[in-house]
């Protein structure tokens, strides 16, 4: 068999939601995979077709010009349709190209994907990919037995083969990263002029039990952190080498280990790293850290997302959030008190939801007073713990719609169109309320909210869903602001 050399890592050209209106986000998973492949002697290429907004013609031309031995892609559930199109295209260009796919959806839905005899997928990487990809490439390159590679699935003799799962990587500090393969100029944070944005990972795993989420399943509720010195050193390297001045921490709970997290903050302050940091964490970690929130601010933590998800204890308990309603409001208050941008989300469209319940949630969202709130449609991911409860109410079976933006679950007392309309109204009403009360914010937050509301209203799915009154209200508001200057 031909020795494998060139491996083309392609992000699928999938677009959805409000996230892309705020910035252009790289795939840090491929930076890790590429680093491990290169350390093993391969020639990886990181091609972010999504962030370049390339279509399939562009992708086809890139595959033809690179002439790779392997094309690998990645997919969460909403991406899977486009990811499979990428691999199908690769096979059409050259049937000898080996195709590989990984990430959450293939990890759990490999049987569904491989039962189709026409699947363009040769191999599925289940779970963490760095060691598995290297082992798989080594086996294929040597003409060896792939059944000895842990953590993969594939078709053989018209049946699906899944090898034993691989244990988690113990030393995250030792993983090499291929930051030099990133096309840096395209990655920006749109609310910050002159920005260069990186996605970084300080830990892996999630110890929580959220019933609608994939992460507790993917990581089996295990968590591992990089050392504070290694992580902060990476931020300094990115700043000094590539001019990165803003980073998004990709972890679900970077703050889980209080001692480690406080050391991260101390190093950021002591070394005067200066990089603006956007992050996600849990409500209870913010409450725990009330006495060191000043360190968050001094370390340049600029934006914190906490998942409130619901405003009733009953729904929080269904979601297994393990928090109390009143705790969410206090966490958001703490973030706001320190001048940090606060963001949260509310998951709507559950089977028992009604127009009245959704509108009450919006009023409570205003009361909670986050700077940013996103009203999400429940996504019935087929591997989630909550799926059996949602399945009888699923009306849309197209995975590309399972993106938390488009409703696919029909509540008992609402139509899908009514849910869609209420989500649009929720966003419109929340953000108009924020704009009307701008004078309650600090000058820094006022400037941020004006920028971000313009982006949301003109460059995201909300521009389409907040139809009718909202665009005119927003336009009139911004016209008044301009007239004051």
The CA distance from 188 to 192, in Å, is 8
Structure tokens, 325: 């309603």
Domain stop point among 295, 317, 348: 348
| Residue 167 is assigned to a structural domain of this protein | no
DSSP letters spanning 127-142: S--HHHHHHHHHHHHT
The CA distance from 236 to 274, in Å, is 9
| Residue 173 is assigned to a structural domain of this protein | no
Question: The CATH number of the domain where 141 resides is what?
Answer: 3.40.50.2300
Same domain as 354, residue 304: no
Domain stop point among 320, 348, 376: 348
The CA distance from 69 to 380, in Å, is 36
* Binned average pLDDT, 10 residues per bin, the chain of 485 residues: 88 82 90 97 97 96 98 94 97 97 92 92 94 96 93 93 92 96 96 94 74 54 87 98 97 93 98 97 94 98 83 53 70 95 91 92 89 90 85 93 92 96 90 87 88 74 49 58 52
Buried-state track 156-182, b at ≥16 Cβ within 10 A, e below 16: eeeeeeebeebebbeebeebebbbebb
| Residue 238 is assigned to a structural domain of this protein | yes
CA angle 357, 360, 361 (to 5 degrees): 90
| Residue 192 is assigned to a structural domain of this protein | yes
Same domain as 158, residue 146: yes
Question: The CATH number of the domain where 209 resides is what?
Answer: 3.20.20.70
| Residue 178 is assigned to a structural domain of this protein | no
- Alpha helices by DSSP H, listed for 397-442, are 416-436
Contact 403, 12 (CB under 8 A): no
Same domain as 344, residue 204: yes
DSSP state of 2: P
Same domain as 36, residue 127: yes
Same domain as 434, residue 322: no
Contact 50, 14 (CB under 8 A): yes
Strands 203-205 and 341-348: unpaired
- The domain in which residue 80 lies consists of 6-162
Same domain as 194, residue 139: no
Say how many domains are in the chain.
Answer: 3
Same domain as 447, residue 322: no
Same domain as 137, residue 10: yes
| Residue 354 is assigned to a structural domain of this protein | yes
| Residue 202 is assigned to a structural domain of this protein | yes
| Residue 175 is assigned to a structural domain of this protein | no
The CA distance from 376 to 348, in Å, is 6
- CA 436 to the chain's CA centroid: 30
Same domain as 127, residue 78: yes
Q: Going by C-beta distance under 8 Å and a sequence separation of 6 or more, which residues neighbour residue 303?
A: 277, 278, 279, 340, 341, 343
Per-residue model confidence (pLDDT) at position 218: 55
Residue whose token pair is 């077709």: 49
Same domain as 76, residue 17: yes
Domain stop point among 282, 316, 348: 348
DSSP letters spanning 99-160: EEEESHHHHHHHHHHHSSTT---SEEE-S--HHHHHHHHHHHHTT--GGGSTTEEEEETTEE
Same domain as 361, residue 325: no
Per-residue model confidence (pLDDT) at position 319: 45
Same domain as 34, residue 142: yes
């Amino acid at each position: 068999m031909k020795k494998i050399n060139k491996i083309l890592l392609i992000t699928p050209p999938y677009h959805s939601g409000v996230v892309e209106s705020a910035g252009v986000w790289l795939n840090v998973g491929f930076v890790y995979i590429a680093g491990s492949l290169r350390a093993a002697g391969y020639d990886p290429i990181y091609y972010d077709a999504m962030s370049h907004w390339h279509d399939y013609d562009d992708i086809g031309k890139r595959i033809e010009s690179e002439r790779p031995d392997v094309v690998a892609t990645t997919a969460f559930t909403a991406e899977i349709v486009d990811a499979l199109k990428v691999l199908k295209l690769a096979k059409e260009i050259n049937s000898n190209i080996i195709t590989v796919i990984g990430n959450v959806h293939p990890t759990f839905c490999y049987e569904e994907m491989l039962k189709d005899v026409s699947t363009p997928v040769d191999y599925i990487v289940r779970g963490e990919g760095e060691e598995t990809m290297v082992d798989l490439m080594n086996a294929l390159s040597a003409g060896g037995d792939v059944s000895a590679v842990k953590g993969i699935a594939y078709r053989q003799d018209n049946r699906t083969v899944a090898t034993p799962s691989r244990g988690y990587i113990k030393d995250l500090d030792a993983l090499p990263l291929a930051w030099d393969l990133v096309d840096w100029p395209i990655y920006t944070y749109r609310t910050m002029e002159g920005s260069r944005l990186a996605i970084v990972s300080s830990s892996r795993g999630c110890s929580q039990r959220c019933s609608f989420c994939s992460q507790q399943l993917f990581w089996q509720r295990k968590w591992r952190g990089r050392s504070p010195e290694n992580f902060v050193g990476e931020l300094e390297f990115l700043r000094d080498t590539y001019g990165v001045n803003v980073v998004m921490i990709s972890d679900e709970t970077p703050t889980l280990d209080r001692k480690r997290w406080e050391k991260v903050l101390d190093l950021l302050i002591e070394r005067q790293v200066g990089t603006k940091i956007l992050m996600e964490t849990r409500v209870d970690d913010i409450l725990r850290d009330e006495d060191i929130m000043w360190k968050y601010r001094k370390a340049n933590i600029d934006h914190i997302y906490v998942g409130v998800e619901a405003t009733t204890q009953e729904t929080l308990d269904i979601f297994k959030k393990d928090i109390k309603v009143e705790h969410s409001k206090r966490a958001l208050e703490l973030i706001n008190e320190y001048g940090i941008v606060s963001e949260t989300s509310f998951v709507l469209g559950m089977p028992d939801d009604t127009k009245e319940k959704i509108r009450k949630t919006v009023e409570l969202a205003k009361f909670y007073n986050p700077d940013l709130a996103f009203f999400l449609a429940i996504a019935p991911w087929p591997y989630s713990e909550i799926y059996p409860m949602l399945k009888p109410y699923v009306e849309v079976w197209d995975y590309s719609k399972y993106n938390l933006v488009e409703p696919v679950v029909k509540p008992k007392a609402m139509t899908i169109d009514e849910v869609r309309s209420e989500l649009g109204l929720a966003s419109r009403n929340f953000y108009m309320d924020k704009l009307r009360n701008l004078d309650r914010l600090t000058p820094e937050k006022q400037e941020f909210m004006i920028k971000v509301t313009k982006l949301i209203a003109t460059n995201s799915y909300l521009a389409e869903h907040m139809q009718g009154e909202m665009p005119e209200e927003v336009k009139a508001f911004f016209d008044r602001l301009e007239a004051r200057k």
